[in-house]
Amino acid sequence: MSPEFFLVSLILAIIPGTGVVFTLACAMSQGMRGAIWGAVAGAVGVVPHLVAAGIGLSALLVAHPLLYDGLRLVGGAYLLWLAVQAWVQRSAAIEVGSVSASGLRIVTQGALINLLNPKLTLFFVAFLPQFVPANDPAPALTLGLMGLVVVGQTFVVFLAYGAAAARAGNLLRRQPKIMTVFQTGLAALFAGLGLRVIVGGR
């Protein structure tokens, strides 16, 4: 496993996306507990795309545009639903635990955000194979190990984001109006991401 792969995959994990936004939302509303479960959700959400890329399911998305577009539209609609939830809960999020969700629910929601994003699958198809040597005697094993590295990096990076957001949330909860504004902005961000996924195409 090359140092180049480790560095590039780490940078890609650091670049904020919908998974990071979800982890920040969990951390802001539920403190460190939400940050941990949000990071777990981000890591779990990567696994299906790695599996799909490894066994060739992603080829179906390339060969069948309607399947790709259907998954993309469902993913965009789910982000819009999260935007509505963030809007409804913007006032209740002032106190830690007032918008409490079980760890299983957080992981399920976070994993769905990634699972319903077909671009991630196509990305892994294009990204991972570049770092497998042509003479590798066990390419499937190498891909699997790289996948575990990506999962681990995702968890660590998301946890760092979440920990910072949890700390910021503790401070913001002393200023209820600012916290409400943040939640409103979060709702708008989820809505914007959802609309971008819906109208963005491939």
Q: Break the chain into its structural domains and give their ranges.
A: 3-11+18-63+90-115+123-132+145-184
Rounded-to-integer distance, Cα 59 and Cα 144, Å: 18
Scan for tokens 């998974």, then name that residue.
Answer: 19
For every residue of 21-36, which 3-state class applies, written as one string? HHHHHHHHHHHHHHHH
CA dihedral for 162, 102, 104, 106, sign (positive or negative)? negative
- Give me the pLDDT at residue 95, please: 43
Tokens of 199: 């109208």
Question: How do the pLDDT tens digits run along the chain, 202 residues long?
Answer: 678 788 878 887 887 778 888 888 888 878 898 899 999 998 998 888 777 776 766 556 666 677 667 767 777 787 787 778 767 766 554 444 444 567 788 888 888 887 777 667 767 766 777 777 778 788 778 878 888 898 999 999 999 999 998 888 777 666 666 667 766 776 787 788 778 777 865 5
Contact 82, 22 (CB under 8 A): yes
Rounded-to-integer distance, Cα 59 and Cα 95, Å: 46
The pTM of this model reads 0.72
CA atoms within 13 A on the CB side of 132: 19
Rounded-to-integer distance, Cα 28 and Cα 165, Å: 6
